[in-house]
Amino acid sequence: MSMTMSQKILAHHAQLDEVRSGQLIMADLDLVLGNDITSPVAINEFKKFGIDKVFDKSKIAMVPDHFAPNKDIKAASQCKAMREFAHDKEIEHYFEIGQMGIEHALLPEQGLVNAGDLIIGADSHTCTYGALGAFSTGVGSTDMAAAMATGKAWFKVPTSMKFHLTGSLQKWVSGKDVILHIIGLIGVDGALYKSMEYSGPGLKSLTIDDRFTICNMAIEAGAKNGIFPADEVALAYLKDHNKKTPVIFEADEDAHYEEVYEIDLSSIRPTIAFPHLPSNTRTIDTIKPGEVKIDQVVIGSCTNGKLSDLRVAANILKGKQVAKGIRVLVFPATQQIYLDAMSEGLLKIFVEAGVAVNTPTCGPCLGGHLGILAEGEKGLATTNRNFVGRMGHPGSEVYLSSPAIAAASALTGYITDPESLKENN
């Protein structure tokens, strides 16, 4: 039977010759992830099993990144529970403040993700790792607990959708614009419990950071996972970050896809998601100068806090000042990215422009801390969700964009086309 990339990875980890859509399987896991919101719940459930050890102390990762550095007593208690469990169970990949980062940028950087892996995480954006040819997906805390105990998880094999990409990205267009375009096209439930698989000659136009961003937001279309082939782009990244031999799975030429979308990357324009859904998209060409006034800009998150994102923003902000009355916050996604941005002089550019540079953390993305919106305020962010109250007060509004749009808008106080800032061209 012909299979897709996702089906082949699932079959391999279930030790089956083949799997089909809708089939229930039990599969071996390569990595189990939790953060400071979800891990404490999983730890409490794990204790009920009455066992002393986790299945493999080298295949569990815990990252306190959502409300850390601790924003209050409850957050401190959550992180303490993780810290004590990790120490007691000798978990090798526990990342404390000062060594940590935003989990979905940190794990690939630390070499904990490989092509062909099967990964679950108690966080919905675990689907990020599909950029490296892995099957990765978010689960609940009870699933995490069971996985820490057994090294296995149940899966319902998803149906698949293919996105065949052609052409190449225009100036100021990035992976963020690609995935917002796709979500705008199919809707927030357009890929519900499906695998979003990418193929075609347009892949060569997408950097590994573009791919991380695209897979990161698969869940915003309702998908079970997003996945790219482990081509030369992915393998080059893995060569620099992972010592393991990649296991490459390729879709069969006659694999069945429930839907196939042909997307010309050269036709995609810078795209913004308006409140209150990631699918409520408009291109920059349809937004009049001065139409949308904003109060805060956030550049960072697991979606767009990578070094390439910071470079784009710094290039636009260099030698300028953010608009009077607007707050601009930058969150490098990991300590290494923070160091690299420092050595390249990016942080100096940000600070001189009037930007607040913060330690790696999810922070305001989920309404956590360090940038909460008040009633009536509008925020433009490079994050992944703009639901009601996502970044603070239910009466606030969140707009989603690429780092280029965010940085350009920081200079004007309104959603702005970087192309209109002629001196940056």
What DSSP designation does 221 have? G
- Which residues are within 8 A (CB) of 393 and not within 5 positions of it... i.e. 6 or more apart? 372, 373, 374, 375, 376, 377
Residue 274 amino acid letter:
F
Residue 39 amino acid letter:
S
Name the CATH topology of 272-424.
Aconitase; domain 3 (3.30.499)
Tokens of 344: 């390249």
Of the candidates 168, 169, 170, 167, which has an alpha carbon nearest to the alpha carbon of residue 419? 170
The pLDDT of residue 425: 46
At 207-258, the pLDDT tens digits run 999 999 999 999 999 999 999 999 999 999 999 999 899 999 999 999 999 9
Of the candidates 63, 54, 64, which has an alpha carbon nearest to the alpha carbon of residue 29? 54
In this prediction, the residues of the chain whose per-residue pLDDT falls under 50 are 424-425
- Rounded to whole angstroms, how far apart are CA atoms 86 and 63? 10
Q: What is the dihedral of CA 406, 408, 409, 415, to 10 degrees?
A: -90
Q: How many CB atoms lie within 10 A of CB 156?
A: 13
Please work out, in degrees rounded to the nearest 5, the angle formed at the alpha carbon of residue 181 by the alpha carbons of 318 and 372: 55
The pLDDT of residue 423: 54
Of the candidates 217, 213, 214, 367, which has an alpha carbon nearest to the alpha carbon of residue 296? 367
Of the candidates 46, 224, 64, which has an alpha carbon nearest to the alpha carbon of residue 151? 46
Strands 378-381, 194-199: parallel, antiparallel or unpaired by DSSP?
A: unpaired
Tokens of 23: 């089939």
| CATH class of domain segment(s) 5-265 | alpha beta
Query: Looking at the chain, which residues constitute the CATH 3.30.499.10 domain(s)?
Result: 5-265, 272-424
pTM assigned to the model: 0.94
| Residue 407: Cβ-neighbour burial (10 angstroms; 0-12, 13-18, 19+) | buried
CB 93 within 8 A of CB 62: yes
Residue given tokens 């509004």 in the structure block: 397
The CA-atom distances, in angstroms, between 99 and each of 65, 69, 333, 337 are: 11, 12, 12, 12
Exposed e or buried b for every residue in 320-344, given b needs 16+ CB within 10 A? Answer: bebbeebbbbbbbbbbbbbebbeee
CB 118 within 8 A of CB 14: no
Q: How many CB atoms lie within 10 A of CB 48?
A: 10
